[in-house]
Amino acid sequence: MASPSVADILASLPADRRAALETLRTVINEHIDAPFEERVQYGMIGWSLPHSVYPKGYHCDPRQPLPFASIASQKQHIGIYLFCVYMSAELQEWFVDAWKASGKRLDMGKSCVRVKRIEDVPLDVIATLFDRVKADDFVAAYEAGLAGSKTGARKAAAEKKAPAKKKAAAKKAPAAKKAPAAKKAPAAKKAPAAKKKAPAKKKAAAPAT
């Protein structure tokens, strides 16, 4: 079965969603850097760097060109997928501040910005974003992020493999030898008991007168 084209996707949408995506698509195509190409990728209208520009392709699937941005009509919202914004903390900070400064509510998840209607989108911020990000800068940010994640993964794997070093048990100091008990001094001999006193001499009776 052939993949749908951009025109096929737009034709399949309700009128309000089709108008919203057509407006976003027009703004993006007017401001995006020339090396990026519009195509259907992962079932969405998207823009990516073709293999002729970036031969390595997308690291998750090298057969796919490197994704940059895409737009889609989801069940409960319109999704604006800005892979370029998520690759740079500095760009993401600028984007969030610019969107909020427009007075529009920002509902930004881990992979996309969600809106209900095209009126919820500050189109000037979208235009400035695509003017701002050039293909070379995007590739540099992408490869830097990829290198960082690989380094982190290798480090984590190495730490997991390395056996935890057992702490050497501190050797107990040899118990101090007890000093030999001091010999008891021989008990002092008791002095011989004193001789019994000699019996007192009886007094002589006085002579009778």
pLDDT at 194 over 60: no
Tokens for 198? 């000699």
Per-residue model confidence as pLDDT tens digits over 160-189: 665 555 555 555 555 555 555 555 555 555
Domain spans, the chain: 6-156
Cross-strand bridge partners of residue 81: 70
Per-residue model confidence as pLDDT tens digits over 52-102: 999 999 999 999 999 999 999 999 999 999 999 998 999 999 999 999 999
The arithmetic mean of pLDDT across residues 197-202, rounded, is: 51
Portion of the chain with pLDDT greater than 70, in percent: 71
Q: CB–CB of 32/130 below 8 Å?
A: yes
Domain 6-156 indexed as CATH 3.90.1150.200: yes
At residue 3, the pLDDT reads 85
Give this prediction's pTM: 0.71
Alpha helices, H only, the chain: 6-11, 15-31, 83-86, 89-101, 123-132, 135-161
pLDDT at 23 over 80: yes
Per-residue model confidence as pLDDT tens digits over 106-160: 999 988 999 999 999 999 999 999 999 999 999 999 999 998 776 645 555 555 6
Report the candidate in 45, 53, 49, 55 with the shortest Cα–Cα distance to residue 24.
Answer: 45
